[in-house]
C-alpha cells in the first residue's frame, strides 16, 4: 500500500513539475464585417471598374487567424519557444496565402522555433518581419487591415507590380520564410531587431536572401521607429492574365529596399502619429521608386471606446502624375476583454497608375477614386 502511495505521489509530482516547466496554448481571433465599396476591380492592377460591391468580409481590424504556441523553461531564465500560426478568411473558411501565387498554407504567418533569455530572443522559420511591428507602433490606426499604414504600404507594392496572389511583396515584406530574427531586450526604452533570411539558392549566395534592421524607442508616451529592409530576388512570380505563373530565375539582384521613419506620441487619451518612408528597386530605380507619408490622430473617450483617423499619401518619384491619398476614420468599442465592435469609413483618390486600396482584399481600379465603409465584430480567444 505504501509503495502504491509513494508511486502515485511521485507521478503527480512529476506531472506538476512538467506542467510548470512547459505549456502549450491554442489561441486566435475571428474578425467579420459587412463591407460596402463604391468601386471594385477584378485584381490589384486592373483598370476595369466592376462597380460597387457589398459583401461579408474578413479583417476589418486584422485578419482572422488561429495558432498554437508553447514554451519550455530549460533553467537559468532560458526558454525554448515555438509558434505555429495561420490566417483564414472567416466568411468562407479559406486558408491564407503562401509565398507561391494562388497557393494556400495552414500556417502561412508563423512557423518558428527559438530560444529566449536575458539576452533577448532568437526565432527561426517563417515569421512576421520586424518592420511591420515598427510601423504599427507609430501609426494611430495601428496598421489595421482597413485604412492604415499597412494598406498604404501595400499600395506601394501594388504600384510596383505586386498582384496580391501571394505574400511575396516587391517592397518590404509582411512575412519572410526561412528567416532568423534576433530581438533584443529593452534598454532604457530602446530595442533592436535584426533579421537575416538565407535564400537557399544553389550557386547564388545572395539569391533570395533578406536582411533587415529595426531600431525602436518606447517611453514616456513616445514611440519612435527606424526601419531598413533589403531583399534579393523578391517578388519572383508574375501571374499572367490567363492565370499562368511565370517564375523569374534567381540572380541575387538587390531589388527590394525599404526605409521607414515613424513617430507616435500619446498624451493622456490623445495620440498623434507621423511617418516618412521610401520604397525602391535598387537594381532598377527608374522603374520603382516611391515615397509614402502618413499622419494620424486618435482619441480614447473612455477605457472602452476610441476613435482613430489617418491620412496616407503615396507618390511615384519617377512619374509625378502617379499619386494617391487615402483618408480613413474608425471607431472601436470593447464589448468585453475579448470582443470589439467597430465601424469605419475611408476614401481613396488614385491618380495615374496608382491603385491604393482602402480595405485589404478589396481592390480599387487604377486611377480611380473609391469610398468604403465597414462595420463588424472581432473576437479573440
Residue 97's domain is classified under what CATH number?
2.40.160.10
pTM > 0.85:
yes
Q: Is residue 304 part of a domain?
A: yes
pLDDT of res. 269: 97
119, 173, 197, 288, 289 from 201: Cα distances, Å: 31, 19, 12, 25, 27
Q: Is residue 168 part of a domain?
A: yes
3-state secondary structure of 280: strand
249 alpha carbon, distance to own chain's centre: 27
pLDDT of res. 241: 65
- Sign for the CA dihedral angle at 337, 338, 343, 344 comes to positive
Q: Is residue 10 part of a domain?
A: no
pLDDT of res. 3: 41
Residue 75 is placed in which grid cell?
A: 533553467
Q: Is residue 300 part of a domain?
A: yes
Count of structural domains within the chain? 1
249, 270, 306 from 300: Cα distances, Å: 50, 7, 4
Q: Which residue has the cell 506620441?
A: 265
Asked if 33 and 374 touch (Cβ cutoff 8 Å), the reply is yes
- 10-residue mean pLDDT series, the chain (381 residues): 44 43 92 98 90 96 98 96 97 92 92 98 98 98 98 95 89 97 98 96 91 98 98 83 77 94 98 98 89 98 98 96 98 98 98 96 96 98 96
Cβ atoms < 10 Å from Cβ of 302: 9
Longest dimension (CA), the chain: 88
Q: 293 lies in which domain range?
A: 23-380
Question: Exposed (0-12), middle (13-18) or buried (19+): which is 246, by Cβ within 10 Å?
Answer: exposed
Per residue in 116-130, pLDDT (tens digit) is 999 999 999 999 999
Residue 127 to residue 124: CA distance in whole angstroms: 8
Which helix (H) or strand (E) segment holds residue 215: the answer is strand 210-219
Q: Which of 65, 63, 227, 37 is nearest to 132 (CA)?
A: 227
Q: Is residue 16 part of a domain?
A: no
Residue 248 to residue 277: CA distance in whole angstroms: 27
pLDDT of res. 244: 76
Per residue in 244-267, pLDDT (tens digit) is 778 888 888 999 999 999 999 999
Q: Is residue 115 part of a domain?
A: yes
Q: Which residue has the cell 535598387?
A: 282
Q: Is residue 61 part of a domain?
A: yes
Which helix (H) or strand (E) segment holds residue 329: the answer is strand 323-334
pLDDT of res. 20: 46
Residue 189 to residue 227: CA distance in whole angstroms: 17
**What number of CA atoms fall less than 13 Å from residue 210's CA on the CB side?**
31
| Backbone region of residue 142 per phi and psi (left: phi > 0; alpha: psi in -120 to 50; beta: other values) | left
Q: Is residue 3 part of a domain?
A: no
154, 323, 339 from 168: Cα distances, Å: 11, 23, 31
Residue 46 to residue 34: CA distance in whole angstroms: 24
Amino acid at each position: 500500500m505504501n509503495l502504491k502511495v509513494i508511486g502515485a505521489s511521485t507521478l503527480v509530482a512529476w506531472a506538476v513539475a512538467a506542467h510548470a516547466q512547459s505549456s502549450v496554448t491554442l489561441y486566435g481571433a475571428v474578425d467579420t464585417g459587412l463591407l460596402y465599396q463604391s468601386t471594385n476591380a477584378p485584381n490589384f492592377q486592373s483598370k476595369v471598374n466592376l462597380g460597387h460591391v457589398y459583401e461579408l468580409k474578413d479583417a476589418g481590424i486584422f485578419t482572422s487567424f488561429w495558432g498554437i504556441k508553447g514554451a519550455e523553461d530549460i533553467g537559468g531564465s532560458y526558454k525554448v519557444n515555438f509558434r505555429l500560426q495561420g490566417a483564414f478568411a472567416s466568411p468562407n473558411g479559406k486558408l491564407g496565402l503562401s509565398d507561391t501565387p494562388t497557393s494556400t498554407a495552414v500556417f502561412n504567418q508563423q512557423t518558428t522555433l527559438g530560444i529566449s533569455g536575458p539576452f533577448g530572443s532568437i526565432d527561426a522559420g517563417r515569421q512576421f518581419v520586424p518592420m511591420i511591428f515598427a510601423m504599427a507602433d507609430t501609426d494611430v490606426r495601428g496598421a489595421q487591415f482597413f485604412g492604415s499604414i499597412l494598406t498604404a504600404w501595400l499600395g506601394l507594392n501594388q504600384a510596383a507590380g505586386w498582384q496580391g496572389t501571394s505574400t511575396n511583396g516587391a517592397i518590404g515584406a509582411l512575412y519572410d520564410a526561412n528567416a532568423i530574427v534576433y530581438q533584443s531586450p529593452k534598454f532604457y526604452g530602446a530595442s533592436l531587431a535584426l533579421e537575416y533570411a538565407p535564400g537557399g539558392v544553389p550557386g547564388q549566395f545572395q539569391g533570395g536572401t533578406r536582411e533587415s534592421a529595426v531600431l525602436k524607442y518606447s517611453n514616456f508616451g513616445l514611440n519612435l521607429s527606424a526601419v531598413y529592409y533589403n531583399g534579393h530576388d523578391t517578388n519572383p512570380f508574375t501571374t499572367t492574365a490567363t492565370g499562368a505563373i511565370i517564375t523569374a530565375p534567381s540572380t541575387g539582384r538587390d531589388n527590394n529596399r525599404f526605409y521607414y521613419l515613424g513617430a507616435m506620441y500619446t498624451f493622456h487619451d490623445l495620440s498623434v502619429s507621423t511617418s516618412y518612408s521610401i520604397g525602391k528597386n535598387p537594381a532598377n530605380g527608374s522603374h520603382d521608386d516611391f515615397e509614402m507619408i502618413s499622419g494620424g490622430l486618435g482619441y480614447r473617450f473612455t477605457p472602452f471606446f476610441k476613435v482613430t483617423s489617418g491620412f496616407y499619401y503615396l507618390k511615384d518619384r519617377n512619374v509625378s502624375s502617379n499619386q494617391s491619398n487615402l483618408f480613413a476614420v474608425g471607431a472601436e468599442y470593447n464589448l468585453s476583454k475579448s470582443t470589439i465592435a467597430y465601424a469605419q469609413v475611408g476614401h481613396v483618390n488614385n491618380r495615374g497608375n496608382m491603385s491604393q486600396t482602402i480595405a485589404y482584399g478589396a481592390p480599387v481600379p487604377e486611377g480611380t477614386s473609391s469610398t468604403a465603409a465597414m462595420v463588424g465584430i472581432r473576437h479573440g480567444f
